[in-house]
Structure 1
Amino acid sequence: MITAYEITLAQAADAREIAELSRDTIEQGLSWRWTERRVLRASRDEATNVVVARRDGVLLGFAIMQYGDDEAHISLLAVRASQRRSGLGSALLAWLEATAGVAGIRAIRLEARAGNAAAKSFYGRHGFTECGSSPGYYEDVEDAVRMVKRLGPAV
């Protein structure tokens, strides 16, 4: 079954829901760092996209990506548990990649929890490769795996 999602830039009114989804799905076992205030700040930053995916007006997932001169960094990407494995995460990632391509970005980087096999597999299916690790990255609770995806033709 094909399900359509509306993916748009987040509005200020989305910040609380984004922050709560981050807390509940990404930041489990850690301090709540992506608060409503921080999400609002990110959404106002000219070098950052905060995007949301909705169906029938309901926020089902979001992503936050910062842009540099030739690389971008995905800070967060989350999908409600009820929507996982539905293509929503892939749709959000495709939106980010398309936007990065238009901006002339040559690579997208991210970190994932070393113990999060589902996230590593998801990104791997989408062309990301592991490029390093960061011991204790998540508040000395867990290590991070660094991943990268090169965009466009190799030079």
Structure 2
Amino acid sequence: MITAYEITLAEVADAAAIAVLSRDAIETGLSWRWTARRVLRSILDESTNVAVLRRDGQLQGFAIMRYGDEEAHISLFAVRASQRRIGLGSALLAWLEATAQVAGIRTIKLEARAGNAAAKSFYRRHGFTEAGLSPGYYEDVEDAVRMVKRWGPEG
């Protein structure tokens, strides 16, 4: 069971902490591409939401989702390892989905490492389906599974 948490849009001051969590939770075994500078660009981008989840005032998770005209794409999604499996990721994903629906988006797409069974299971539990494989997607180190969730008349 989770205790109180808060989900808000990231602020400029959050960029470094988001980048470090991305490096540690997502980019292991890869080059560190989501540096503070790149995260900051996303925070400042009008077509991107960078959401942060704080618990007891501390950043415990984040998500970066870019909006197109008809669909959104989750570029990064992470919850601190010590805070997983207590509902924080589910709350963060629900926030993203609600935000997308308000924007008129009916499809969210993302990629997950093919070998990350926990991530694929998490997204499946939340209504995502596998939509294909992208060989070598992660720097030719690992393949990606493309996942999608649709709702509304076509979903």
TM-score, normalised via structure 1 length: 0.98
Q: Deviations over 1:20-57 (max 9, x none)?
A: 00000000000000000000000000000001000121
Aligned length: 155
- 1:121 alignment partner in structure 2: 121
Counterpart of 2:143 in 1: which secondary structure?
strand
Amino acid corresponding to residue 100 of structure 2 in structure 1? A
- 1:77 alignment partner in structure 2: 77
Amino acid corresponding to residue 34 of structure 2 in structure 1? W
Note the residue ranges of structure 2 that are not aligned, 5 or more in a row. none
- The yes-or-no answer on 1:109 pairing with 2:127 is no
Distance (whole Å) between structure 2 residues aligned to residue 55 and residue 89 of structure 1:
12
Distance (whole Å) between structure 1 residues aligned to residue 37 and residue 154 of structure 2:
39
Share of identical aligned residues, percent?
81
TM-score, normalised via structure 2 length: 0.98
Distance (whole Å) between structure 1 residues aligned to residue 13 and residue 43 of structure 2:
11
- 1:97 alignment partner in structure 2: 97
Counterpart of 1:60 in 2: which secondary structure?
strand
Amino acid corresponding to residue 140 of structure 1 in structure 2? D
Counterpart of 2:112 in 1: which secondary structure?
strand
Note the residue ranges of structure 1 that are not aligned, 5 or more in a row. none
What is the RMSD of the two structures over their aligned residues, measured on CA atoms?
0.9
Aligned runs of 1:40-59 on 2, under 5 Å? 40-59=40-59
Determine if contact 2:2/2:88 at 8 Å carries over to the other structure. no
- 1:88 alignment partner in structure 2: 88
Determine if contact 1:6/1:53 at 8 Å carries over to the other structure. yes
Q: Which moved more, 1:126-135 or 1:145-154?
A: 145-154
Deviation at 1:2, TM superposition (A): 4.1
Aligned in 2, Cα 1:94/1:16: closer, same or farther, shift over 3 Å? same
